[in-house]
Amino acid sequence: MFSQIALGTTEQGLMYSIMVLGVYLTFRILDYADLSVDGSFTLGAATATSLIVGGANPWFATGLAFIVGNLAGLFTGILHTKFKITPLLSGILTMTALYSINLRVMGRANISLLGSRTIFTDFAQLPLMDEYGVFVLSLISVVFLGAVIYFFLQTELGLALRSTGDNELMIRSLGVNTDLMKILGLSISNGLVALAGSYVAQNQQFADASMGIGMIIAGLASVIIGEVLVGTSSIGRTIIAVLCGGIIYRVIIALVLQLGLAPTDLKLITSVIVIFALVSPSFRKKIVSLTAGMKGEGA
């Protein structure tokens, strides 16, 4: 029983950490708080499930979820760079527009995949994969995507992307079109988020128009938790950190639910985690200076 819950939580954590990887790209690499995430997570789920219900190959449906996510990010990027709308507002506009689009894609508020073929049912057919198939497929996906992003960030294009978030004036004077870099980053990010949405929906065998609500905050919480616990001394380490952050975040949520809190309280808990994580560095400094001050008085 317990190990069942533990396994389920880890599997979910792995899938969500694909989303966290996307949030890391915008939030940390591009220094851009992108709220489109709430909409693009659902978009991925909606695209994959409606295609699967319509009889499409689930692998194809999953790939397409990634691409429509790219398009959502592209849209946010164009709003921001070409029409000079602020990052926050560009994200909110995409998120809001996607809410209607997702309902259009699904045709109703939720879709059940019970009994349908998914990437997970396919994978479970492989030898030895009937029990741990979901875990193994999620793990392979996370390791693969983490490695791809890691190598991408060491390429010339990846360096241009990173410096766009670090010092835009400088990299523009070195000949990089920073508008394009922002659009590229947002596009990859939202593709990953939508991909995560399609995994989660196929695993839980349903998609719901509101399943993405609060996803950006969950993503931020995961990024921060991972960075604090694992560290950020290099790009590779930071990527491992945020992936772990995604899993740890799910574990925390599972524990909180075990304590008897209602699932509807989750968003509140997540916000509290983010607030706590955001204020804790200054909070910790205060405590340190306070105790130092008390020691000073004693001496």
Partner 1 sequence: MLTVRNLVKVFNRGTINEKKALNQVQLELAPNDFVTVIGSNGAGKSTFLNAVAGNFPVDAGQIFIDGEEITRLPAHKRANLISRVFQDPLSGTAGSMTIEENLIMALRRGKTRRLRRAIGSQERNLFRSKLEQLGLGLEDRLTHRVNLLSGGQRQALTLLMATLQKPKLLLLDEHTAALDPKTAAKVLELTCDVTEQQQLTTLMITHNLDHALAFGNRTIMMHEGRVILDIRGVDRSNMTISRLLEMFEKASGSHMNTDRMILA
Positions that interact with partner 1 (CB under 8 A): 151-152, 154-160, 162-163, 166-167, 169-178
Closer to partner 1 by Cβ: residue 160 or 242: 160
- Alpha-carbon distance of 216 to 46, in angstroms, equals 18
CB of 148 to partner 1, least distance (A): 11
CB 27 within 8 A of CB 34: yes
Alpha-carbon 195 to chain mean position: 9
Closer to partner 1 by Cβ: residue 163 or 189: 163
CB of 234 to partner 1, least distance (A): 9
DSSP conformation class of 44: H
Closer to partner 1 by Cβ: residue 169 or 299: 169
Closer to partner 1 by Cβ: residue 234 or 289: 234
Question: Would you mind telling me the total number of residues written for the chain in this entry?
Answer: 299
CB of 167 to partner 1, least distance (A): 5
CB of 235 to partner 1, least distance (A): 9
Closer to partner 1 by Cβ: residue 162 or 250: 162
Q: Which two tokens stand for residue 248?
A: 């740890």
Closer to partner 1 by Cβ: residue 135 or 150: 150
Q: Which two tokens stand for residue 18?
A: 């694909």
CB 203 within 8 A of CB 120: yes
β partners of residue 206: 112
- Alpha-carbon distance of 288 to 110, in angstroms, equals 50
- Alpha-carbon distance of 121 to 75, in angstroms, equals 33
CB of 145 to partner 1, least distance (A): 16
* Element (DSSP H or E) covering residue 87: helix 87-106
Our CA dihedral for 39, 152, 164, 93, rounded to 10 degrees, sits at -10
- Alpha-carbon torsion (290, 292, 295, 296), positive or negative: negative
Q: Which two tokens stand for residue 19?
A: 């989303």
Task: Please choose, from the candidates 165, 171, 169, 209, the residue with its C-alpha nearest in 3D space to the C-alpha of residue 189.
Answer: 165
Closer to partner 1 by Cβ: residue 92 or 153: 153
CB of 41 to partner 1, least distance (A): 27
User: What angle is formed at CA 199 by the lines to CA 270 and CA 80, rounded to 5 degrees?
Assistant: 65
- Alpha-carbon distance of 218 to 209, in angstroms, equals 17
Closer to partner 1 by Cβ: residue 156 or 297: 156
CB of 84 to partner 1, least distance (A): 14
Name the H helices within 107-128: 119-124
CB of 50 to partner 1, least distance (A): 32
